[in-house]
Amino acid sequence: MKKILVINLYSGPYTPTTYLKGKIQSFIKEKCGVQAIMLNEYKGPFEMSNALDKQKEGTIIITETPVLMNLVFNDKYDAESKYKIMLNHKKYDSINILVKMQRPLISLIDSYNKVESFNPDLDHALEIDDKIKKELTSNIDFEFIFTEKENILSEISTKIIQTFPKI
């Protein structure tokens, strides 16, 4: 098995995971001297697994579309497919982080997306956060609530270094 670390960010809508992904990548580069790669969205679990298989030994990957999210939002998979998805997830070392919303972060989201009016459905977002937690509870290593304070980056980065001290 290749030694690849995958940092999976699980979240529902309106959580700025792309922002977090970039901040985590910067932290790893600055504090550990290692370049992490950000993988973008993939349509299915096996497409993501193929992308991971192409990475070099010692690579750190950060993704906001983890393979296991397919189990949360897709009812079409039979038991065998779910088993294969789980095997693909376990193929690499990973840190699995659930990032939940506390409330809409209008100023952060507006400045990040340059949107003048943004009215998220917070109740729906929180329901999805709860569904992710319920479906994947045994696969989540850490859970954080995203607030406007950036201490979450410090907390996440500390957990990454504690979990994989050789980074």
CATH of the domain at 73: 3.40.50.300
Please compute the mean of the pLDDT values over residues 89-118 and round it to a whole number. 65
Domain with 97 in it? 5-163
Q: Which pair of tokens denotes residue 107?
A: 């100023």
pLDDT the model gives residue 19: 81
CB 53 within 8 A of CB 77: no
Comparison of pLDDT for 166 and 154, the residue scoring more? 154
The CA angle 120-7-134, to the nearest 5 degrees, is 55
The answer, yes or no, to whether residue 25 has pLDDT greater than 70, is yes
Global pTM reads 0.78
Rounded distance, CA 140 to CA 96, Å? 5
51-57 long-range contacts (CB < 8 A, ≥24 apart) are 52/4, 52/6, 52/91, 52/92, 53/2, 55/2, 55/4, 57/2, 57/3, 57/4
> 128: closest CA among 108, 152, 100?
100
**Ramachandran angles phi, psi of 108, nearest 5°:** -65, -50
Q: Residue 142 contacts by C-beta under 8 Å, 6 or more apart in sequence? A: 95, 96, 97, 98, 156, 159
Question: What pLDDT, in 10s, does the model give residues 51-72?
Answer: 777 888 778 888 887 888 888 8
Q: 116 pLDDT band (50/70/90 cuts)?
A: very low
pLDDT the model gives residue 4: 81
The answer, yes or no, to whether residue 108 has pLDDT greater than 60, is no
Domains held by the chain: number: 1
Which is it for strands 60-63 and 142-146: parallel, antiparallel or unpaired? unpaired
